[in-house]
């Protein structure tokens, strides 16, 4: 077999392959034998029909196709291995010439991994903004715990305020109460938390200061991006009746409450546990932030020419993933592009595709340069880690996901990612700095 390689545009390699006439003839005759074993030819037992009879029965082209499908996988694999091609797609045949008695000539193409030119990825000092625990984080956590165990009590001696939960009847009309009735714009005995309303802007705020059994009207304007395009930017009036008003009563924070809702005996013990949780959470976030910043610094310094074909494939995959997430929310691509510029959306997907490809190529390059290997114990450790996260045994993880080839491939990639990040963190220095402009991230337990 003779193979000639030619580098075409970007990362495409053309392979001109010549298979000697003898080998091509053997492949053809073997195809005849296979076909004769599963066809019925009058006057002959299966597998016993002569070649000329099989040719007349199924056609020479069909036999050649059978021969090609049998011989090409091994031929192409050998061509790739002998020439040490680092491929990212399966090879595909663009043309072939196959006349029995002559050499078989095949032209195939394959895409190879783009070359990555790394910048410095060791000995760096990377400044990272540390995560800050707000001064009121402990108190906010305690307040949230109290809210979780709060009770609702009826209010009869005052108007509603902005922290109450009101029970209302409502009916909506476009323009005015004499206008068109809004489809789906009515409800009876509907509980509405004024402070955490998901109604259109301005609705809940106008329920403040109203009395029990009071009937009144409010005016609102639907947002320009409202999900029902027929209501976008439309003025509307809602007739409202207050059926009841309830206020949230928080329990008293004392040792008795702490013993009731936790494993601790005193308020001080609970607060100490919250402080420890927030500290551990900060350390975890700092670690993840540092890993991400170091990796980003390394990726930014690397240079790679990513072929458009790779970008297009990755973008198509990301777009399909996005469509599936939309479907889970009851939305479609067509619905989204009515409210967002499709060109901008596609550009964002393409940019994400470029970043993901570059990240992957850099990880593979570092893994190769550092001779990072993945063994069975690495995979087992990752399975145990996944099991712990989902409260499953390793056996259950394998039973549920093990038959999915994508899951197995994803495991290997995750392990490789982790090992590369370990190398980067071990060989670079992180310097934590205060957030710019005293930026603080809210941390809650």
For residue 140, give every residue at least 6 positions away whose Cβ sits within 8 Å of its Cβ, in sequence order, or none: 134, 442, 444
Could you read off the pLDDT of 207-266 as tens digits, one per residue? 999 999 999 999 999 999 888 888 999 999 999 999 999 999 999 999 999 999 999 999
For 395: left if phi > 0, alpha if psi spans -120 to 50, otherwise beta; the answer is: alpha
Does residue 194 sit within a domain? yes
Nearest 5°: the CA angle 396, 398, 403 is 130
For residue 369, give every residue at least 6 positions away whose Cβ sits within 8 Å of its Cβ, in sequence order, or none: 118
Beta strands in 286-401 (DSSP E): 303-304
Could you read off the pLDDT of 5-38 as tens digits, one per residue? 998 877 899 999 999 999 999 999 999 988 888 8
Are 155 and 165 in contact by the 8 Å Cβ rule? The answer is no
pLDDT value for 379? 87
Q: Same domain, yes or no, for 427 and 327?
A: yes
Q: Same domain, yes or no, for 352 and 397?
A: yes
Q: Which spans in 267-307 are helix H?
A: 267-301
Q: Which residues of 376-415 are buried (b: 16+ CB within 10 A; e: fewer)?
A: eebeeebbeebbeeeebebeebbeebeeeeeeeeebeeeb
CB hemisphere CA count around 99 (13 angstroms):
2
Q: Same domain, yes or no, for 294 and 414?
A: yes
**Last-in-domain residue among 200, 231, 249:** 249
pLDDT value for 438? 53
Q: What is the DSSP letter of 210?
A: P
- Can you tell me the mean pLDDT for 391-418? 84
Could you read off the pLDDT of 252-268 as tens digits, one per residue? 999 999 999 999 999 99
424: containing domain: 259-438
- Can you tell me the mean pLDDT for 386-410? 82
* pLDDT tops 50 at residue 3: yes
pLDDT value for 344? 93
pLDDT value for 410? 85
Number of domains in the chain: 3
For residue 436, give every residue at least 6 positions away whose Cβ sits within 8 Å of its Cβ, in sequence order, or none: 129
- Can you tell me the mean pLDDT for 334-359? 92
> For position 171, which CATH number holds?
3.10.50.40
* Parallel, antiparallel or unpaired: strands 165-174 and 235-249: antiparallel
């Amino acid at each position: 077999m003779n193979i000639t390689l030619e580098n075409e545009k970007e990362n495409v390699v053309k392979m001109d392959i010549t298979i000697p006439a003898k080998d091509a003839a053997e492949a053809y005759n073997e195809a005849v034998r296979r076909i004769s074993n599963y066809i019925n030819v009058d006057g002959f037992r299966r597998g016993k029909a002569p070649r000329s009879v099989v040719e007349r029965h199924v056609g020479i082209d069909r036999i050649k196709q059978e021969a090609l499908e049998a011989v090409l996988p091994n031929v192409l694999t050998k061509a790739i291995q002998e020439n040490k091609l680092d491929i990212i797609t399966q090879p595909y045949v663009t043309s072939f010439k196959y006349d029995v008695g002559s050499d078989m000539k095949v032209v195939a193409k394959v895409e190879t991994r783009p070359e990555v030119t790394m910048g410095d990825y060791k000995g760096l000092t990377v400044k990272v903004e540390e995560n800050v625990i707000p001064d009121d984080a402990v108190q906010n956590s305690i307040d949230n715990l109290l809210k979780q165990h709060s009770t609702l009590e009826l209010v009869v001696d005052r108007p509603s305020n902005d922290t109450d939960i009101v029970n209302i009847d409502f009916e909506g009309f476009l323009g005015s109460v004499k206008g068109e009735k809004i489809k789906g714009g009515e409800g009876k005995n509907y509980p509405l938390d004024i402070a955490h309303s998901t109604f259109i802007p301005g609705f809940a705020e106008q329920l403040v200061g109203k009395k029990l059994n009071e009937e009144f009207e409010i005016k609102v304007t639907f947002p320009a991006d409202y999900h029902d395009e027929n209501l976008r930017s439309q003025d509307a009036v809602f007739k409202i009746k207050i059926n009841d008003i309830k206020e949230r009563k928080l329990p008293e924070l004392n040792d008795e409450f702490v013993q009731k809702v936790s494993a601790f005996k005193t308020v001080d013990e609970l607060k100490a546990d919250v402080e420890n949780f927030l500290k551990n959470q900060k350390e975890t976030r700092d670690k993840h932030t540092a890993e991400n910043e170091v990796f980003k610094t390394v990726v930014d310094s690397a240079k790679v020419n990513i072929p458009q074909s790779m970008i297009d494939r990755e973008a198509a995959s990301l777009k399909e993933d996005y469509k599936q997430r939309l479907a889970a929310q009851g939305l479609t691509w067509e619905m989204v592009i009515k409210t967002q510029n499709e060109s901008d959306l596609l550009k964002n997907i393409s940019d994400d595709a470029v970043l993901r490809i570059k990240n992957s190529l850099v990880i593979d390059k570092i893994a190769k340069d550092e001779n990072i290997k993945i063994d069975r114990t690495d995979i087992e450790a990752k399975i145990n880690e996944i099991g712990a996260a989902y409260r499953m045994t390793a056996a259950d993880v394998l039973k549920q996901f093990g038959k999915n080839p994508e899951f197995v491939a994803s495991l290997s990639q995750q392990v490789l990612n982790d090992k590369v990040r370990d190398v980067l963190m071990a060989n670079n220095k992180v310097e934590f700095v205060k957030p710019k402009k005293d930026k603080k991230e809210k941390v809650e337990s």
